A and B are shown apart, each in its own frame.
Chain A
Amino acid sequence: MTKPESEFTWKDLEIGGIVAEPGNASQYQTGDWRSQRPILDTDKCIKCGLCYIFCPEGCIEQNAEGYFEANLFYCKGCGICARECWVKAITMIPEEE
């Protein structure tokens, strides 16, 4: 996508609303409906990667230090990572208004 969806007028659309650029779903910000976000306590985290495995959005990545962090562009705030983390290193906090 060359520009955000909000800038498309009806005249800009491809025929039948075809998406002609493969793979551009990665530019879709699924994180914009999140009402809470995960906070990682690196003191508790043992870098096991369980949150990475359980994340239904596939938005958790391992950073340079080896910690697993959610990419907030995609994270929908479901809280599954916090629920599954067996050392309780993740807490969900409400998004501010």
Chain B
Amino acid sequence: MAKRVGIEVSLAIAEAAKLANTDVVAAYPITPQTHIVEHLAKLVADGELDAAYIPVESEHSAMSACLGASATGARTFTATAGQGLELMHEVLYVASSMQLPIVMAVANRALSSPLSVWGDHSDVMAVRDTGWIQIFVENGQEAVDNVLCAFRIGEDPKVLLPVMVHLDGFYLSHVIEPVLFPEQSLVDKFIPPYKYPMPLHPDKPVTMGAFGPPIIYTETKKAQEVNLRASKEVILQCWAEFGKTFKRHYSPIESYRTEGAKVLLLTMGSFSETAMTAIDRMREKGKEVGLVRIRLWRPFPFEEFRQAVSNAETIVVVDRALSFGGPVGPVCSEVRSALYDEKQKPKVVSFVAGLGGRDITPAGFEEIVNRGIEISQKGSENEFEIFGVRG
């Protein structure tokens, strides 16, 4: 029987990596991700998880060690956040280009300076184009479920790509929630032992990450791009299979009370649940508003997104990161691009909010939606607005 326990989400993620029979963990602690790898270190030290735990001196080394481990065919897990994700930046590209299905939990955190350990999506947006599959979760259960899915998706022979599971730092990483842990036997069936097709092995030497002169580099990048886009099919299949086995269902784009709504709020990450409360309140007041949440950030689910917003007249997008000097918030840029070729385009209004751990309350979301409607009707002198900024 599946077991329901009250557990800190960070520890639950470590337990999920254990359920997945992770072979190697190479990690460096950083707030707000520390409890994930701390708990994994304990599980390994206590003999509960038969894995190699490699304590390294930095995140750059953590991801580099993960590369090596994954290249031998080991099931590899790590976690990081904020500055740590930035420090491993260059190695992230190597992991995706070499098609190594490492799974990494990222407890999303703001970037310095000023130093902030609190949550936002600045770190996510900086690694947007690294070629990893990127999934957002909104609560502890989703985090556990999607860590398990991440292994299955990444290790699929049609995919072979690393996967990031994004969870908001503190809002998710440090809260205690009820989590249903699936049975080990079912997880073992869901994520069978995996065999990398061409692992590093002395019996059959291969060269990984070789140098690629101009005559071949473009071809390697085209192959990578096609592969990442094609992974969506496998992701959909994985979530469908997960739903069948574990009765919890996931989609690339998820809608909440969108029936009849001409105005849609669009969010990504844990504050989507706060936004739901705001939508409930607005619905009670008779306002026809709904919520659309992005779960699959990369590859971006264009088709599903266009379908989810096809009846909307106004979309109010809330970003938790800035694209300095750019058009609008980074998620909003994506949304606008996705809709550019549509014949009937909704108005898209951009807000940036919740930077560096600044709360957005349900009342705050109501205010954002109302202001969004006002801007869609009257326009605004700004490309986007930063919600709640003083002065």
Mostly, the B contact residues are loop
| B215 neighbours in A (Cβ, 8 Å) | 5-6
Is there an interface contact between A16 and B100, defined as CB atoms closer than 8 Å?
Answer: yes
| CB of A17, distance to nearest CB on chain B (Å) | 5
| CB of B190, distance to nearest CB on chain A (Å) | 23
Which residue of chain A has its CB nearest to the CB of B221? A10
A 1-16 to B, binary, CB cutoff 8 A, 1 in contact else 0: 0000110111111111
In the complex, A8→B198 CA distance in Å? 20
B 178-208 to A, binary, CB cutoff 8 A, 1 in contact else 0: 0000000000000000000110000001111
Is there an interface contact between A16 and B222, defined as CB atoms closer than 8 Å?
Answer: no
Please judge, given known A-B contacts A5-B213, A10-B226, whether A16 and B219 are in contact too, CB under 8 Å.
no
Known interface pairs A11-B223, A13-B216, A16-B100; 18 further A-B residue pairs with C-beta atoms within 8 A, sorted by A's residue number:
A5-B213, A5-B216, A8-B219, A10-B222, A10-B223, A10-B226, A13-B219, A15-B99, A16-B98, A17-B210, A17-B212, A18-B98, A18-B207, A19-B206, A19-B208, A22-B205, A22-B206, A22-B207
- Is residue B160 within 8 Å, beta carbon to beta carbon, of the partner chain? yes
Is there an interface contact between A16 and B207, defined as CB atoms closer than 8 Å?
Answer: no
- Is residue B146 within 8 Å, beta carbon to beta carbon, of the partner chain? no
24 CB-based A-B contacts, threshold 8 Å: A5-B215, A6-B215, A10-B218, A10-B222, A10-B223, A13-B216, A13-B223, A14-B198, A15-B99, A15-B198, A16-B97, A16-B98, A16-B100, A16-B208, A16-B209, A17-B97, A17-B98, A17-B212, A17-B220, A18-B198, A18-B207, A19-B207, A19-B210, A20-B206
| A17 neighbours in B (Cβ, 8 Å) | 97-98, 209-210, 212, 220, 223
Query: 9 closest pairs, A vs B, by CB?
Result: A16-B99, A19-B207, A10-B222, A10-B219, A16-B98, A10-B223, A22-B205, A17-B220, A5-B215
| CB of B73, distance to nearest CB on chain A (Å) | 13
| CB of A30, distance to nearest CB on chain B (Å) | 10
> Count the A residues whose beta carbon is within 8 Å of the partner chain — how many?
16
Query: A18 is contacted by which of B206, B216, B218, B226 (Cβ under 8 Å)?
Result: B206
Which B239-278 residues have C-beta < 8 A from chain A? none
| B222 neighbours in A (Cβ, 8 Å) | 10
Is there an interface contact between A13 and B206, defined as CB atoms closer than 8 Å?
Answer: no
Is there an interface contact between A18 and B208, defined as CB atoms closer than 8 Å?
Answer: yes
| B207 neighbours in A (Cβ, 8 Å) | 18-19, 22
Which residue of chain B has its CB nearest to the CB of A28? B213
| B210 neighbours in A (Cβ, 8 Å) | 17, 19
| CB of A22, distance to nearest CB on chain B (Å) | 4
| CB of A10, distance to nearest CB on chain B (Å) | 4
| CB of A52, distance to nearest CB on chain B (Å) | 26
